[in-house]
Amino acid sequence: MTGIILFLYGMMQLNRTIQAHFSSFRIREYFKLTVKTPLYGIVAGIVTTIFFQSSSATSVLTVGLVSAGLIPFFHSLGIILGADIGTTLTVQLVVWKITDISPLLILTGALIWIMGRERWKSGGEALFYFGLIFFGLYLTSTATAPLKDSPFILTLLEQARHPLIGVAIGLALTAIIQSSAIPISLLVILALHGMVTIESALPIVFGANLGTAVTALIAGIVATTEGKRCALSHFIFKLIGVIVCLIFLTPFSLAVASVSSATAQQIAAGHFLFNLVIVIVITPFLRPFARLVERVMPGTTESFSLWPEYLDERVLSRAPEALENVRREMHRIIVMAYRMLEKSLGLLSLYKDATKRDVGYLEMTVDHVRAEIARYLCAISETTLSPELSRVLLQYSTVTDNIESMADHAMNIATIAEEKEKRNHQFSADADRELEIVATLVVDNVTDTILLFETPSDEIIRRILKREDTIDRQENQMRERHFQRVYTRLCRAEAGPAYLEILVNLERISDHCENIAEYMADILKSRETGDGGLSPQTGENSGRTT
């Protein structure tokens, strides 16, 4: 049991470390490959799972990205197929007895983690947890040696010769442990002790593969329609694989037996071949399969690209056209910021980890696209520009920063909601009602700010500025009323900071709406004066926040 606990702990920590590393190295650029062809998606899934050492982690990550609208459903299918192939490496490493050198991996990783240079620390941490995974399997291997004399285990393995019973055993174990690597690795370990045959092992391998889809199904419960489709597809892929391999069990067993005379290697080969069969059978029919699933689970989900859609490098020499592309890209990311705000406010009343994760994915994408806009603007600035277009470029750079800041504040609200849930902080009915009033005003301001990128008008700008004045007054009054509620013990004191932080972040979002509205007012004014159509007037404005 200790070995299994170390294995699971090492896997969870490795997942956390790798995901944090992926974020800093543009996971969006990595997954950009998936939209080219399903084959690229399969390769992306294989590589991701090799890093995570868990197909379940890759599947849950993919379901989350699809649920957040950052990867289209169809393009997620290739990643899932690849993840199932990537997970076979763990079992192969057990066959190669990497468990014997796991203490060396742990020691090396720990030294790099503690004593290495800053840029190597995350690699050392990942190596430490990688070694811990296989050290857990080493302890499990040591503990399984006496099982060869256990009548219960021998009877269980004998019953597994019946294909359906073997599938049920593998399915149950994997569904409970949430990792197919453990039961299949245990089979390899038992085979090394001469306790299991390939005939009894293969059905368990099939069942373990089917069980690994349960994790994605659980993640899909709280996902959007697209996320649910993704999770369901993973389960269907595995189910098709089980059915096909059971129908052709005899030739499948002969093919595996021809790989090696060692049962342990045959099990690893069977695990790989099972998932390869799924890829071969499913890949040619991915497009009609996706349409079928969409028909079975109807519904539409708003989709946001992980990377810029309008920043065309070919028009950089034509500054007005290039700046128009920037405007369209800014419109896209402010819509993302709006979705983040909506989701974050919803978390205050009903917290869900999956929704918080969606907000994080969107914030990550906004940051990335904003960086790409900054790079694009820098490239435009290297061309010959009129003074008017130079001012527009500077204004757009500032507007983009304001949008990113809005997304950051929305992310802050989601984080506060998470802490509120963990600490069980409750606001009074009056506090909730006042927060709802100011939140509605802020949402209306963001909505109008989005309209400025579509059909800018003085009327919309006036609405935003008037609403911002109302929000400022409301914030000051709400602070005073909240202090009174805490003083009279109508509100719990420990919940006070969370309430005020939410209020501050909402007010800051509205400030950034005001900033953008004022920049758009400059642009409209320059149009009226015939100043090139795009160029805003410069000048200081005390209302602008940075």
User: pLDDT, tens digit, for every residue of 330-339?
Assistant: 999 999 999 9
Residues 188 and 88 in one domain: yes
Residues 271 and 333 in one domain: no
Provide the pLDDT confidence category of residue 461 given band limits of 50, 70 and 90: very high
More confident residue, 90 or 82: 82
Residues 223 and 372 in one domain: no
Exposure b/e, 519-539, CB count within 10 A at least 16 = b: bbbbbeebeeeebeebbbeee
Q: Is the pLDDT of residue 133 over 80?
A: no
**Parent domain of 259:** 2-296
Residues 441 and 511 in one domain: yes
**Mean pLDDT within 465-489:** 83
Q: Is the pLDDT of residue 544 over 50?
A: no
Domain presence at residue 439: yes
CB atoms within 10 A of CB 185: 28
Residues 291 and 318 in one domain: no
Domain presence at residue 541: no
Number of domains in the chain: 2
Contact predicate 440/448, CB 8 Å: no
Domain boundary among 261, 296, 331: 296
CB atoms within 10 A of CB 422: 9
More confident residue, 213 or 315: 315
User: Tell me, what's the pLDDT at 535?
Assistant: 37
User: Tell me, what's the pLDDT at 537?
Assistant: 36
Exposure b/e, 112-151, CB count within 10 A at least 16 = b: bbeeeeeeeebebbbbbbbbbbbbbbbbbbeebeebeeee
Domain presence at residue 140: yes
**Mean pLDDT within 43-59:** 73
Residues 515 and 449 in one domain: yes
Residues 282 and 322 in one domain: no
The residues, ordered by sequence, that sit 6+ positions from 374 with a Cβ below 8 Å of its Cβ are 397, 400
How confident is the prediction for the chain on average, in pLDDT?
Answer: 80
Of the candidates 211, 209, 214, the residue with the CA atom closest to the CA atom of residue 232: 214
Q: Is the pLDDT of residue 215 over 60?
A: yes
Question: What is the percent of the chain where pLDDT is above 90?
Answer: 21
Domain presence at residue 127: yes
Domain presence at residue 545: no
Domain presence at residue 101: yes
More confident residue, 218 or 12: 218
pLDDT tens-digit map of 11-40: 666 656 665 655 444 455 555 555 567 777
Q: Is the pLDDT of residue 294 over 50?
A: yes
pLDDT tens-digit map of 523-540: 777 655 554 444 333 333
User: Tell me, what's the pLDDT at 158?
Assistant: 67
Among 1-5, 316-320, 453-457, 513-517, name the one with the lowest average pLDDT: 1-5
Q: Is the pLDDT of residue 318 over 80?
A: yes
CB atoms within 10 A of CB 271: 32
Among 119-128, 265-274, 433-442, name the one with the lowest average pLDDT: 119-128
Residues 327 and 445 in one domain: yes
Residues 48 and 157 in one domain: yes
At residue 19, what is the residue type? Q
CATH number of the CATH domain containing 457: 1.20.58.220
Domain boundary among 265, 296, 327: 296
Residues 261 and 362 in one domain: no
Provide the pLDDT confidence category of residue 408 given band limits of 50, 70 and 90: very high
Residues 180 and 149 in one domain: yes
Provide the pLDDT confidence category of residue 426 given band limits of 50, 70 and 90: confident
Mapped onto helix, strand or coil, the DSSP state of residue 339 is helix
More confident residue, 388 or 451: 451
Contact predicate 113/128, CB 8 Å: yes
Domain presence at residue 444: yes
More confident residue, 53 or 425: 425
Residue 418: half-sphere exposure toward Cβ, Cα within 13 Å = 14
User: Tell me, what's the pLDDT at 25?
Assistant: 41
Residues 269 and 417 in one domain: no
Domain boundary among 296, 324, 341: 296
Among 84-93, 131-140, 189-198, name the one with the lowest average pLDDT: 131-140
Q: What is the DSSP string of 225-286?
A: HHHHHHHHHHHHHHHHHHHHHHHTHHHHHHHHHTT-SSHHHHHHHHHHHHHHHHHHHHGGGH
Domain presence at residue 542: no
User: Tell me, what's the pLDDT at 342?
Assistant: 94
Residue 162: half-sphere exposure toward Cβ, Cα within 13 Å = 7
